[in-house]
Amino acid sequence: MANTRAYAATSPTSGMAPYSFDRRALRPDDVAIEIDYCGVCHSDLHTVENDWGGSQYPVVPGHEIIGRVTAVGQDVTRYQPGDLVGVGCMVDSCRTCSACDSGLEQYCIEGSTMTYGSLDRHDGTVTHGGYSEKIVVSDRFVVRVPENLDPASAAPLLCAGITTYSPLKHFKVGKGHKVGVLGMGGLGHMGVKLAKAMGAEVTIFTRSESKVAEAKKQGADHVIISTDKAQMKAAADSFDFLLDTIPVAHDLNPYLKCLKYDGTHILVGLLTPVEPALQAGLLVTKRRVVAGSLIGGMPETQEMLDFCAEHNITCDVEMLDIRNINEAYERLKKSDVKYRFVIDMDTLKQ
């Protein structure tokens, strides 16, 4: 009998179904965690359906993990059984390159080991993520979850939170900046809350009229309906930063026009080629920049959780019974979730 119950996809079209496998025995620096909650990120769906190519089946997705420590390896001093902890998108890296040395493990020169669908650096097995009852992770890739955060609604901070926090911090977003967030989904709604807490004036760009009132409730100062040409035109030359969470290929040019000179368009959602092509003139004539950003490093992930605890920030979540994960994916495809599904892992054990 395998020691861990989970849900997995066995092909791009299989859908998700119960699956079991063995988690490894503790290595000296390992932490064993019983998972209470796991967020459902759009990356899970991209990987399950092999949108980016290279998915390794079976895929056990999930990289927004919160749970309690159940055991620690002999060298672990930072955590002990009972601690509330989180695991995000990475579970290992080379730990010696300049990026790892700087706490930017996501940019590890050898490539970091992702929480699911990567090869474990020590035993070569494929990593499995948080749609499972437990996980075993090296302590460097475990963060402490402040006890004043509600664990279910804090789970998505481990990916949606850090992916939006990291570029906002890197580009020193703060008071006096106008920030636009493109797409109001899991990442987008966190981008609004975090940019607001950092002091920026925030505008959400959405296709969905139905999200306008909620965007304002979450702190957005303004809302632009991105499909309304007049509204887009009126926004020309007005933003310092755009944080783009749109998960599919889309035309960047109308958004670039909304940046001031020296403005920066930060891609976090778009992992596929840009289509149609960028109009270079829009960059050259205003010294505009197109940038990208990948999750965040481990020290920064802890900093983000502490920042959220201090500012009382969590995600807006819809609790999910894991048996309904296939329906949840269909709704995610339609941008019909407000704003993150979080799996209650008790439902895996029923």
Cα separation, 242 vs 244, in Å, equals 6
According to CB under 6 A, which one of 62, 117, 269, 297 is a site residue for ligand NDP? Answer: 269
Q: Position of tokens 């190519």?
A: 53
- The DSSP bridge partners found for residue 201 are 178
Q: Which x/- pattern, by CB under 6 A, does the window 218-257 give for ligand NDP?
A: ---------------------------xxxx-x-------
Cα separation, 91 vs 95, in Å, equals 11
Contact partner at residue 246 from Zn ion, ligand NDP, none, CB < 5 to 8 Å by partner kind: ligand NDP
> Applying CB under 6 A, does 294 fall inside the site for ligand NDP?
yes
| Binding positions for ligand NDP, 33-62, rule CB under 6 A | 41-43, 46
Stretch that binds ligand NDP, among 77-85, 112-120, 156-164, 323-331 (CB under 6 A): 156-164
Minimum distance between the CB of residue 187 and Zn ion, rounded to whole angstroms? 8
> Applying CB under 6 A, does 127 fall inside the site for ligand NDP?
no
First to last CA, the chain: 18
Q: Which x/- pattern, by CB under 5 A, does the window 132-161 give for Zn ion?
A: ---------------------------x--
Alpha helices, DSSP H, located in 199-343: 212-217, 229-234, 253-256, 280-284, 298-311, 325-333
- Please state whether 117 falls in left (phi above 0), alpha (psi between -120 and 50) or beta: left
Q: What share of the chain is helix, strand, coil (3-state, %, to 5)?
A: 30, 25, 45
Q: Position of tokens 């998915």?
A: 55
> Do 187 and 269 touch, CB atoms closer than 8 A?
yes
> Applying CB under 5 A, does 41 fall inside the site for Zn ion?
yes
Stretch that binds ligand NDP, among 108-116, 181-189, 320-328, 342-350 (CB under 6 A): 181-189
Nearer to ligand NDP, 22 or 251 (CB): 251
Minimum distance between the CB of residue 294 and ligand NDP, rounded to whole angstroms? 4
Cα separation, 94 vs 111, in Å, equals 8
Site residues (vs ligand NDP, CB under 6 A): 41-43, 46, 159-160, 163, 183-188, 206-208, 211, 245-248, 250, 268-269, 293-295, 332, 335
Site residues (vs Zn ion, CB under 5 A): 41, 43, 159
